[in-house]
Amino acid sequence: MHVLWLTARSMADLCSTTQRNLVGGLLGQGHRVTFVNGDEMSPLEHNNFTHVSLPTNARRGFQAKTLGKAMGVWLSDRDIDEDSTVAVVEWRVARQVVSVLESKGIPWALMDRSPPADAGLLSRLQWRPWSSAWRKAKQADVEGFVVSPAHQDFVTRKTGHQRTTVLQAGVDLERFKPGEKRFPFTMVYHGRLDRHRGVLACVMLAQKARLEGIEVDLVLIGEGNLESALMDVAQTYEFLKVHPSMPQDQLAQLLATCHLGLLPMPNRRVWRLASPLKRSEYLASGLAVFGIDHDGHALRNVESEWFRLVQQEDFHIDGLDFIREFMSGRLQVSEGPRLYAETNLSWNRSTSLLIEKLNDLVQRDS
């Protein structure tokens, strides 16, 4: 099978781990991948992998549209006549490329790893191409890939499209694994350091713990609109360590030394529909997990001492109780998180589903 992967996501983006692993899974199963995006270079190297670079200089809010148009031109100029070719199209570029794919008889599936997540005007501008992409998927009766059951329900309610498959965020179990824990007790959050993601609540939790005499550190890893402010705070409070985004191997080594992974994203639509990769990486690294209770954070059918979600208004009070339980030894963590990850969160599960659905499309159009 030859997979055309058309996306506005950069391979260097912290949020691109999912597509890197899915593409890697396709290559590992012997499929060919032509990956088209705006990156000048790709970190992936494989005999069956081809990267097509279509860089754009559009201003924020218009990059995806501009890139999508460039993809449409690139596709129009190509003679792709392999019967086994299928396209994976990210929703942000679907509006510009789907008609070209259909004119060439190339079957396609829609990839939606996240509905619009930016705050304010930019988010409102993005909902129109999101709706348009799903409308095209419904009209063509093609597969749509989503990140969680809540996301799946949302797509069905909003668009009426029934043909969707959940590709849950997995984890590289060989890279992320438990290690020797550091001193003192350390909480960690990694991801975008943006104000609307609840990151400041993590800092307040660590500060309240310290004020109560609980020796605890907080590690934050990532980039965003709070990064410089958090760096300044870290100059004042020794318990706070702020790191920029780092390579996956380095991230895995750091997570392995921590005790508690935090999920502070508030109970808003964009986070309720998510399947946070950090949750899987915390568990694979043997960390207990504490966060805000909503569908995006929840693990279905899991009731365990090492995974606790609470109401947003109780994040600090219940968080302090959770830390006390953990540090007193009353909380039994042991190997539970790692065992759950090994059983449920391997990328192999999502990759197998992806290949199955793409093969179905190829067979249907052959």
Q: Report how far residue 143's alpha carbon sits from residue 163's, in angstroms, rounded to the nearest whole number.
A: 5
Q: Report how far residue 311's alpha carbon sits from residue 296's, in angstroms, rounded to the nearest whole number.
A: 13
- For the chain, domains (ranges, CATH) are 2-170+346-365 (3.40.50.2000), 185-344 (3.40.50.2000)
- Provide mean pLDDT across the span 197-205: 97
Measured in whole angstroms, the distance separating CA 312 from the mean position of its chain's CA atoms is 22
User: Rounded to the nearest 5 degrees, what angle is found at the Cα of 241, between the Cα atoms of 260 and 188?
Assistant: 15
pLDDT at 30: 96
- Percent of the chain exceeding pLDDT 70 equals 94
Q: Residue 62: count other Cβ atoms within 10 Å of its Cβ.
A: 11
User: Sheet holding 85-90: strands in order across?
Assistant: 49-53, 32-37, 2-6, 85-90, 108-111, 144-146, 164-166
DSSP 304: B
Locate all alpha helices (DSSP H) within 212-290, ordered by sequence: 227-236, 248-256, 269-272, 277-284
- Provide mean pLDDT across the span 92-108: 95
pLDDT at 328: 84
Higher pLDDT, 89 or 302: 89
**Is a pLDDT exceeding 60 seen at residue 118?**
no
User: Sheet holding 216-221: strands in order across?
Assistant: 240-243, 216-221, 185-190, 260-263, 288-292, 307-310
**Is a pLDDT exceeding 80 seen at residue 285?**
yes
- Taking CA atoms, 311 is separated from 29, 267, 287, 291, 315, in Å, by 42, 9, 21, 9, 6
The pTM is what?
Answer: 0.84
Q: Which of 178, 169, 354 is nearest to 263 (CA)?
A: 169
Q: In the structure, what pLDDT confidence band is assigned to residue 143 with cuts at 50, 70 and 90? A: very high
Q: Among 44-48, 145-149, 231-235, 325-329, whose mean pLDDT is lowest?
A: 325-329
Residues of 207-216 as b/e, b for ≥16 C-beta within 10 angstroms? bbbbeeeeeb
Residues of 110-140 as b/e, b for ≥16 C-beta within 10 angstroms? bbbbbbbbeeeeeeeebeebbeebbebbbeb
pLDDT at 80: 80
